[in-house]
Amino acid sequence: MPVKNRFAELMPEITEWRRDLHEHPEILFETHRTSAMVADKLRAFGCDEVATGIGRTGVVGIIKGKSNTSGRTIGLRADMDALPILEDTGLPYASKTPGAMHACGHDGHTAMLLGAAKYLSETRNFDGTVAVIFQPAEEGGGGGKEMVDDGMMERWKIEEVYGMHNWPGVPTGKFAIRSGPFFAAADQFDIYVTGKGGHAAKPQETIDTTVVASQIVLALQTIASRNADPVKQVVVSVTSFETASKAYNVIPETVHLKGTVRTLDPAIQDMAEQRLKEIAEGAAAMMGGAARVDYRRGYPVMVNSDAQTEFAADVARAVAGDCAEAPLVMGGEDFAFMSNARPGAYILVGNGDTANVHHPKYNFNDEAIPAGCSWWAEIVERRLPAA
Ligand SMILES: [Zn+2]
Ligand SMILES: [Zn+2]
């Protein structure tokens, strides 16, 4: 079975929604216009229930099948938020909000799940219930966590969750997935280094925090090279190095380092956090200075459940002919909070040969819409087969 004919018919309409969303990007939890548009459309489609304000600005639509002898509910999730990027695509429907841009394709995700919701509301050719989940704040705000914390899974008795992300580099409308750990845990740290400032010509009277912090930056690289099992993945990146001195001749009293740690295994994550503190404090002490570490855990590892992944890949093969093995991704993904709460699977749909996500020239590829929508519809019709 290739893509569903109905989505070929609906494609112009879904494309129009997508481009409208693209013109009006909203960041983090500020998805007010987007959430209102989603809720209006779900009501117009005839969803049995439309709940707003879930996880602040999240929206959930409930669609009941022709029958419910299975008594089962599955969740389909899309993200709605944009990024704080100045768009440089030159598109006729480019962002009208300077400094905000749909540079991760969440406009496409929202439009595709709306298209699937329209089809499922029309046909209802399944036995059970579908929850279409639209979350805010995927890009660093933890909107998925807020929706789970709001009791979404219990309120609608959601048993499984599915997610989809467009992926530049995968052929348009093709799919890729992997079982087990898929997206990395993404943690952040600040290291505050203190020493003794002074005249640059009299280092003997100072404890030079620039040198102390430099030792720390280099020593942190041994977490990956010397502490972690070589077959396990860990990335430690120091991304900001700010000294209290703006002068040529002043040794700064303090240095502030910032960075991120990415891991795919909870034991490696624990080890990296512990070693980061030990190394920062130890390297500073070695030089007579001091370091204080503030380590914050972000999104957990996003793990695809085996059974749901196998099923999702079968559906992708039915829609697109085949399904590739996706690579591990060291980026974080907020769907982790949902797939930690319930068994689930997250799939990549090809965006073709485009600029990468988070780039000012990136654009979601509308040609992926029929395949993406068909995958959503088939997930429902195969998981909850009509009685
Ligand atoms: Zn993104
Ligand atoms: Zn994204």
- What is the tens place of the pLDDT at every residue in 265-277? 989 999 999 999 9
> 139 among the known binding-site residues?
yes
The confidence score (pLDDT) of residue 23 equals 98
The confidence score (pLDDT) of residue 254 equals 98
| Cβ–Cβ under 8 Å, residues 74 and 383 | yes
185-299 matches 5-181+301-383 in CATH topology: no
Residue 305 CA to ligand 1 center (angstroms) comes to 22
What digits encode the pLDDT tens for the residues 289-320? 999 999 999 999 999 999 999 999 999 999 99
Residue 174 CA to ligand 1 center (angstroms) comes to 20
Which superfamily does 5-181+301-383 belong to? Answer: Zn peptidases (3.40.630.10)
Nearest to 239 by CA among 253, 260, 225, 222: 260
* pLDDT grade for 3, boundaries at 50, 70 and 90: confident
Nearest to 83 by CA among 58, 104, 97, 98: 104
> 358 among the known binding-site residues?
yes
- Beta-carbon neighbours within 5 Å of ion ligand 1: 104
The confidence score (pLDDT) of residue 187 equals 96
> 104 among the known binding-site residues?
yes
> 165 among the known binding-site residues?
yes
The confidence score (pLDDT) of residue 1 equals 55
Q: At what angle do helices 32-45 and 106-123 cross, to 10 degrees?
A: 20
* Cα atoms found within 13 Å of the Cα of residue 15, Cβ hemisphere only: 12
The confidence score (pLDDT) of residue 104 equals 98
Nearest to 260 by CA among 290, 292, 295: 295
Is the pLDDT at 2 greater than 80, yes or no?
no
d(CA 93, CA 18): 10
Residue 372 CA to ligand 2 center (angstroms) comes to 15
b/e map 267-300, b = 16+ CB within 10 Å: ebbebbbebbbebbbebbeebebbbebebeebbb
* pLDDT grade for 237, boundaries at 50, 70 and 90: very high
What digits encode the pLDDT tens for the residues 109-130? 999 999 999 999 999 999 999 9
The confidence score (pLDDT) of residue 387 equals 85
The confidence score (pLDDT) of residue 4 equals 86
The ligand whose atoms approach the alpha carbon of 357 most closely is 1
Helix (H) / strand (E) element for 6: namely helix 5-23
Q: Which two tokens stand for residue 314?
A: 């079968």
Q: Which two tokens stand for residue 200?
A: 């640059």
Residue 217 CA to ligand 2 center (angstroms) comes to 29
| Cβ–Cβ under 8 Å, residues 163 and 340 | no
Show me where the domains of the chain are located: 5-181+301-383, 185-299
Mean pLDDT of 14-39: 98
Helix (H) / strand (E) element for 14: namely helix 5-23
The CATH number of 185-299 is: 3.30.70.360
- Beta-carbon neighbours within 5 Å of ion ligand 2: 104
> 106 among the known binding-site residues?
yes
Q: What is the pTM of this model?
A: 0.90
